[in-house]
């Protein structure tokens, strides 16, 4: 009996066990289906979230965040491939703190495993990064990483960049499903990036059109030339995201360009700089009438003489204002160190804006010429009326008084009439001088102080062994009288000659500044300084010139070497 009962119980337990197994399998499949449903739902949410972004930088950051969540990765990054197609131009990360990023150093450029995806844009899944042949280790302070999953992002069949995921949470490996999900996200990311770029290009085009309209309106409504140059610099800097913008214009009667305006980072050190046409980055853009780029101005030989002024800056582009033989100047834009180089897509609208600016400047100058012609014609009419009417009447009046004086017997009255005739003669001379002034044209071009200073600096180059740096600020040609300008030219020539003969310097800087009240000439060098026992006849001459004009000469010789000469004189009568 017991054996029969035991057999019956066994038969009861056996179906029960099979039922439990079936229920567990069913539960597992339900969980898997639920997990798949949740993952698909998460993927759809990620695709929608990424697609909503119109700002490119924000879209890229959203893609990285979504990728990390979808495959449960601790670290995620998106590397943007640069214009050369060989290295990364930008790197967006998730999971690494700003503090650690600062300790690691510069972002990767695309070597090792990252470069593998650049050269072979196909999904790559690794159980251990260090075992791959392309891996060569991580930099100091980099977090440890083993598991890896990478997929390319394509925009219109062109590889835009790559998604890099490492360290799947829970210590498990990335699987085929992770790869499939990430590849799907990459397709959606490509569409989102394309939309963001199209939106950005449209918005950029609109900003350039607004800048063109504002510049044209300013010039055609009679705005000053300096305000127009400021508009060119400010609009170009803001639209392209540059840290520094400057506008250089040709200096009359010289082979040089002067930085008339600079805005942004370190702009004070650039205003008034005089740059050679043949040897500078700006000069090359001016002479060739084409844009000239530099990946890093601090290492560019074409700006070596001014490189200390570019500390903290990097990529640059110089664009001519105008084209062909009608180049009127150059606008230089410089980005912060580490920022992307200027691409052709950015340079093309900038060049169009500069060309439009040149046309607006041409039209404004033609309007000014017309106004000037009208003014000169009016002056000619006034001069003609003075000559034909006023002088003749005064002359006739004088002749009448002189004739009448013969009949005046009273001595005192006769003397008064004679003085009146003399006064009329003086008045006629004054009117003739006024007529001459109304009809006189400006003197020959290139006779201004700016051109003379540049010429003296150029003539001193053979004696110095190098070209001195020149910077000028203020209305040098307008505010400095001819007499003072002659002294400035002589003092500068003497100072540079002394530097070339005695200082044994490798660098010299000339600064000429005026605020309308005084003119200040500063000549500094990095030579051996001025010896106490040396000849000082040159310094005495320069000091005497300053004293004649009510000014002073100051010579500074720092302990570290070099010397600085400051020659300053007042320009107003009250100060003399």
- What are the tens digits of pLDDT across the range 274-318? 888 887 888 888 888 899 998 888 888 887 554 567 888 888 999
Between 511 and 322, the higher pLDDT residue: 511
Cα end-to-end distance, the chain, whole Å: 139
Asked if 76 contacts 154 with a C-beta cutoff of 8 angstroms, the reply is no
Nearest Cα residue to 317 out of 346, 281, 290, 293: 293
- pTM (two decimals): 0.62
What's the whole-number average pLDDT of the chain?
A: 78
65-78, pLDDT tens digit by residue? 888 888 888 998 88
* Interval 335-357: pLDDT, tens: 988 787 888 888 888 888 888 77
Cα dihedral: 507, 512, 518, 524 (round 10): 0
Q: Within 10 Å of residue 316's Cβ, how many Cβ atoms?
A: 26
Q: Look at residue 520 in the predicted model and tell me its pLDDT.
A: 93
- DSSP H helical ranges for 145-224: 176-220
What's the CA gap between 96 and 108, in Å, rounded?
14
Task: Taking residues 191-199, report their average pLDDT.
Answer: 79
Q: Collapsing DSSP states into helix, strand and coil, what is residue 172?
A: coil
Between 235 and 438, the more confident residue is 235
Give the pLDDT score at 447.
66
Question: Coil, strand, or helix at residue 281?
Answer: helix
251 secondary structure, DSSP code:
P
Q: Where are the alpha helices (DSSP H) in 499-566?
A: 537-548
- Concatenated DSSP letters of 25-57: HHHHHHHHHHHHHHHHHHHHHHHHHHHH--SHH
Q: Taking 70 as the threshold, does the pLDDT of residue 230 lie above it?
A: yes
Tokens in use for 468?
């001195």
Q: What is the pLDDT of residue 429?
A: 66
| Pairwise pLDDT comparison (280 vs 411), residue with the higher score | 280
Strand order in the sheet with 73-81: 88-94, 73-81, 158-168, 148-155, 124-126
Over the stretch 148-177, which tens digit does the pLDDT of each residue have?
998 898 888 788 888 899 998 888 898 888
- Sheet arrangement for strand 313-321: 292-294, 313-321, 329-336, 244-250, 256-264, 273-276, 469-473, 508-514, 518-525, 563-570, 552-556
pLDDT of 476 strictly over 70: yes
């Amino acid at each position: 009996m017991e054996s029969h009962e035991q057999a019956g119980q066994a038969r009861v337990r056996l179906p029960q066990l099979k039922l439990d197994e079936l229920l567990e399998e069913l539960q597992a499949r339900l969980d898997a289906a639920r997990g798949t449903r949740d993952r698909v739902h998460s993927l759809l949410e990620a695709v929608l979230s990424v697609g909503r972004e119109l700002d490119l930088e924000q879209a890229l950051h959203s893609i990285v965040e979504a990728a990390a969540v979808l495959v449960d990765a601790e670290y995620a990054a998106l590397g943007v491939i640069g214009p050369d197609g060989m290295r990364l131009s930008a790197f967006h990360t998730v999971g690494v703190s700003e503090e650690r990023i600062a300790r690691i150093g510069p972002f990767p450029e695309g070597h090792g495993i990252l470069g593998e995806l650049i050269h072979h844009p196909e999904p790559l899944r690794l159980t251990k990064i260090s075992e791959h042949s392309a891996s060569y280790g991580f930099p100091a302070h980099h977090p440890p990483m083993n598991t890896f999953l990478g997929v390319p992002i394509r925009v219109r069949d062109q590889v835009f960049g790559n998604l890099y995921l490492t360290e799947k949470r829970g210590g498990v490996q990335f699987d085929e499903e992770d790869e499939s999900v990430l590849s799907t996200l990459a397709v959606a990311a490509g569409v989102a990036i394309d939309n963001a770029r199209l939106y950005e290009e449209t918005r950029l085009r609109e900003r350039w059109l607004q800048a063109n309209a504002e510049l044209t309106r300013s010039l055609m409504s009679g705005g000053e030339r300096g305000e127009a140059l400021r508009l060119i610099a400010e609009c170009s800097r803001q639209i392209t995201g540059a840290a520094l913008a400057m506008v250089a214009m040709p200096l009359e009667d010289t082979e040089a360009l002067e930085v008339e305006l600079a805005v942004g980072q370190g702009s004070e050190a650039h205003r008034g700089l005089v740059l050679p046409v043949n040897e500078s980055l700006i000069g090359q853009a001016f002479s060739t009438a084409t844009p000239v780029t530099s990946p890093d101005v601090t290492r560019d030989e074409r700006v070596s003489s001014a490189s200390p002024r570019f500390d903290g800056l990097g990529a640059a582009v110089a664009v001519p204002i105008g084209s062909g033989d009608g180049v009127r100047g150059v606008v230089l834009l410089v980005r912060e160190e580490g920022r992307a180089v200027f691409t052709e897509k950015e340079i093309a609208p900038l060049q169009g804006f500069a060309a439009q600016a040149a046309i607006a400047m041409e039209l404004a100058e033609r309007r000014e010429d017309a106004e000037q012609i009208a003014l000169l014609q009016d002056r000619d009419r006034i001069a003609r009326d003075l000559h034909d009417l006023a002088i003749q009447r005064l002359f006739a009046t004088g002749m009448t008084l002189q004739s009448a004086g013969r009949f005046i017997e009273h001595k005192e009255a006769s003397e008064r009439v004679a003085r009146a005739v003399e006064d009329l003669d003086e008045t006629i001379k004054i009117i003739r001088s006024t007529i001459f002034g109304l009809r006189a044209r400006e003197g020959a071009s290139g006779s201004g102080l700016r051109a003379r200073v540049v010429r003296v600096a150029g003539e001193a180059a053979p004696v110095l062994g190098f070209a001195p740096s020149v910077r000028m600020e203020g209305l040098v040609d307008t505010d400095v009288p001819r007499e003072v300008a002659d002294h400035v030219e002589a003092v500068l020539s003497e100072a540079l000659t002394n530097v070339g003969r005695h200082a044994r310097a490798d660098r010299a800087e000339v600064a000429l500044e005026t605020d309308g009240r005084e003119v200040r000439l500063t000549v500094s060098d990095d030579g051996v300084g001025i010896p106490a026992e040396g000849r000082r006849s040159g310094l005495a001459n320069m000091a005497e010139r300053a004293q004649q004009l009510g000014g002073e000469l100051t010579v500074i010789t720092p302990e570290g070497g070099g010397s600085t000469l400051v020659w300053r004189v007042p320009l107003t009568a009250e100060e003399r």
